[in-house]
Amino acid sequence: MISINFVLLLIVVICVFLNIGQIYLIYSQGRKLADKSDVRLLTDILSQIHDRNMEENDLLKSNLSIHTGQNNHIFNERKNAILEYFSSLNTWMWDGLNLTVQDYNHVNFEEITKRITNIKDYYNKTNISFAVMQLTIDSEQLVKIGYEAMMDTLKLHHFVENTMKNYQKTLSWEKTLLDKITSKDYDFFKLSPDMKSFYERQARENEEEKRRALDGYNDRHWELFKQAIADRNLFRDVAKEELSELEQFVYSRNDEKNDELTNILKSGTSHIKDIRDLSARREYVYNRETENKF
């Protein structure tokens, strides 16, 4: 007969093995759930990082666009200010002050008034555009050259305006004298000797004034015009250099910001890839362990 102690020992051993099996089963199920939970957690983290990275990328791209737009706006603003001044200066010179006294006589002298009004308008526009340029650009050299160009052009302006006004008076008196002499109601030959002498003297003085205006005008006009053009050309050359340097500076700043954004995007992409690889490895290990268990 089997002894009672042996039976009891056998029952105890069987219980121990059952408990061990149960504990292992519980551990295996817990391990399985834990591994599955780890994979799910990594997937959730990856999704959150991806979403946050996309938001940050959109924000960075938006900031880059704003920064680039600001730089381009500054460049265009300064460029337009320089071009506006240069255009106004040329219009003042060529359309306003490129004036010849020989083009006027006692028939069309009244048009001189309109021409003088025009050159004043051109000067005002140039002065306004120069003030805008002063506020817009940082180059003291360019502002100084622009100011000198305007001042030398103003000298030409004063010469033309004063000469044309005096010439207009001379032509006006000549027109009055001619109208009076050629009038049907006026007989020059019936005038007293003093009146004849007066009109003859006025006519000679008028001719002398016209001669002085015609003889001295072209030489002095060319002298002043040549200096104004030289100043304008100097302003043009310095302005081209200034705009070229400013354009290169703006492009370099935009490239720096673009490179900075590219590096940040690469870093974010690399980070997401690391998380994705970790998740994939964890899921692979989990699947292999699951297959081996069953």
Lowest mean pLDDT among 11-25, 41-55, 190-204: 11-25
Question: Band of the pLDDT at 274, cuts 50, 70, 90?
Answer: low
> pLDDT tens-digit profile of 87-129?
999 999 999 998 888 888 878 888 999 999 999 999 999 999 9
| Inter-helix orientation angle 140-181/193-293, to 10° | 150
Phi, psi of 182 (to 5 degrees): -90, 0
Separation CA 220–CA 216 (nearest Å):
6
Pick 231 or 78 by higher pLDDT. Answer: 231
Let me know if 146 is exposed, middle or buried by CB neighbors in 10 A (0-12, 13-18, 19+).
buried
> pLDDT tens-digit profile of 140-178?
999 999 999 999 999 999 999 999 988 888 888 878 777
Question: Band of the pLDDT at 1, cuts 50, 70, 90?
Answer: very low
pTM to 2 decimal places: 0.63
Question: Band of the pLDDT at 53, cuts 50, 70, 90?
Answer: low
Separation CA 160–CA 100 (nearest Å):
9
Q: Which residues contact 145 (CB under 8 A, 6 or more apart)?
A: 231, 234, 235, 238
Lowest mean pLDDT among 42-51, 101-110, 150-159, 191-200: 42-51
